[in-house]
Amino acid sequence: MGDAGGEGPRDIMITGMFDMPNFGDLMFPVVAAHELGRRGCRVHAMSPTGAETGLREAMASRDIGAAFDPLAPCDGMLIGGGYIVHTHRMDPLKEYREGGIGAAVGPLTWLGATLAAALRDVPVAWNAPGVPHPLRPGLRPLAAAAFDCADYLALRDEGSIRMAGLSEHPEVATIPDTILGLEAVWPKAGLAQDFARVCATLGVDRTDRVLATHVRRRSLGGAPLSDLAESLAAVCLRLDISPIVIGLGTAHADDRMARELTAALAARGVAAAALDRPRGLRDIAALLAHARAYVGSSLHGYITAAAYDVPALLVARPAYRKFDGLVQHLGRACDLMKDWPVALGALEQALQGPSHPIPPDVIARLERHWDRIAEVFRAGPEAKRRERLAFAALAFREGLRQDGLNWAMTPFSTPQDRNAALTGQDILETEPF
């Protein structure tokens, strides 16, 4: 335990996909550390593997198994953000396939984190993560118990609330993605030198005409990349802008797409560059903060540009609920583009349009969100202790139902004895003692 009863800072574990080289996921603990640091908390990032991402400014994480270590300081558990409230297999990502934990990663960051909080007897708060799909029926009792034992429960949009089955829940909050508050963490003026350095490194001379863009293959809808390159090249030449293609998530092969698109643009006479291997998170934030505009398929590319009042268009293909939920928070449905042709057709108007700063009510809601989280952790574990114990008991019962006594007794027996006991041939007709 930390210093929950004293006056010192609270030690808070935040859980998410912080072992993935993906800009949006890695920014959640950075923002949380800033905001909760202002409110008397120390933040520790916890991820499925604890692997290093190699990106500067990313908070080093420990594997979530450490959350069960009674010697690890913990006064509270903060879940999210990101699209993490699911139990889908994650082994399509090599980082989890190689570790053999593809089936465990999905539930680990929220159900596993809740179980750790129950066993540690610490409060739980939710940092507005998202729910991509309806939870499977067999999981609903456990999920409902996990939601009930949260001292503060927040999801990032109404679609997530529906997918979680929480439409009738009296206490769930809807909070915009917390990366919208990034300008408070890294002010735009403070990123100017980073932007100049990135441009110089990439050989970009006209820093006042940069178009930040990002392409994920799924956003092409099956069309060849050459089609996008042809259309984007024509727009860039006509509007006299220089694209920098960002690899926001190497876990999703964004770096390869950035290189391929940049080469295709260069072949069509466009002075393009690829930030395919950024050295750190500030490089990406600086580029998005000081670009002339952003157009792309990354939610957090759009969010970061919007946070710095940069004109931004979000290519919502596929049309994930998180895209629609985000622009609804901002009152900017006009920024949501159904595909790349529509987005490129709207780019000139976006470049010439008026400023669209983050609405003051969104910033105020984020402030209240962080205040509420800090209040929960200051209050200590008493309020939801009964609910956390009920969740732990339900989780234990489900483990017994699925895998029997051996599952529950694993800590108290040995692999050799468990394997031998499957047949019992080695001690057939002998006394146990």
pTM for the model stands at: 0.93
Confidence of residue 369 (pLDDT cuts 50, 70, 90): very high
- Cα separation, 216 vs 288, in Å, equals 17
Beta 76-79 vs 61-63: how paired, if at all? unpaired
For the segment 249-297, what is each residue's pLDDT rounded down to a tens digit? 776 788 999 999 999 999 999 999 999 989 999 999 999 999 999 999 9
- Cα separation, 348 vs 235, in Å, equals 8
Spatial neighbors of 409 by CB under 8 A, at least 6 apart, are none
For the segment 231-241, what is each residue's pLDDT rounded down to a tens digit? 999 999 999 99
Residue 8: CA count within 13 A, CB half-sphere: 10
* C-beta of residue 77 within 8 angstroms of C-beta of residue 13: yes
For the segment 13-61, what is each residue's pLDDT rounded down to a tens digit? 999 999 999 999 999 999 999 999 999 999 999 999 999 999 999 999 9
For the segment 301-343, what is each residue's pLDDT rounded down to a tens digit? 999 999 999 999 999 988 788 898 999 999 999 999 999 999 9
Q: Which residue has the tokens 């983050």?
A: 358
Does the domain made of 187-352 have the CATH classification 3.90.260.10?
no
Confidence of residue 398 (pLDDT cuts 50, 70, 90): very high
Length reported for the chain: 433
Strand partners, 190: none
pLDDT at residue 124 greater than cutoff 90: yes
Strand partners, 337: 315
Confidence of residue 4 (pLDDT cuts 50, 70, 90): very low
- The pLDDT assigned to 8 comes to 84
Query: What does the domain layout of the chain look like in residue ranges?
Result: 10-127+129-174+365-393, 187-352
Spatial neighbors of 385 by CB under 8 A, at least 6 apart, are 121
Calculate the CA dihedral of residues 184, 190, 195, 196 and round it to 10 degrees.
Answer: 170
Q: Is 170 exposed, middle or buried (0-12, 13-18, 19+ CB in 10 A)?
A: exposed
Confidence of residue 2 (pLDDT cuts 50, 70, 90): very low
Output the CATH code of domain 10-127+129-174+365-393. Answer: 3.40.50
For the segment 145-172, what is each residue's pLDDT rounded down to a tens digit? 999 999 999 999 999 999 999 999 989 9
- The pLDDT assigned to 433 comes to 67
- The pLDDT assigned to 432 comes to 67
For the segment 197-224, what is each residue's pLDDT rounded down to a tens digit? 999 999 999 999 999 999 988 899 889 9
- The pLDDT assigned to 99 comes to 77
Torsion sign over Cα 276, 279, 280, 284: negative
CA distances from 66 to 28, 48, 81 (A): 19, 10, 20
Sheet containing 293-296: order of strands:
273-275, 242-246, 210-214, 293-296, 312-315, 336-337
Comparing CA positions, the residue from 304, 195, 296, 199 lying closest to residue 252 is: 296
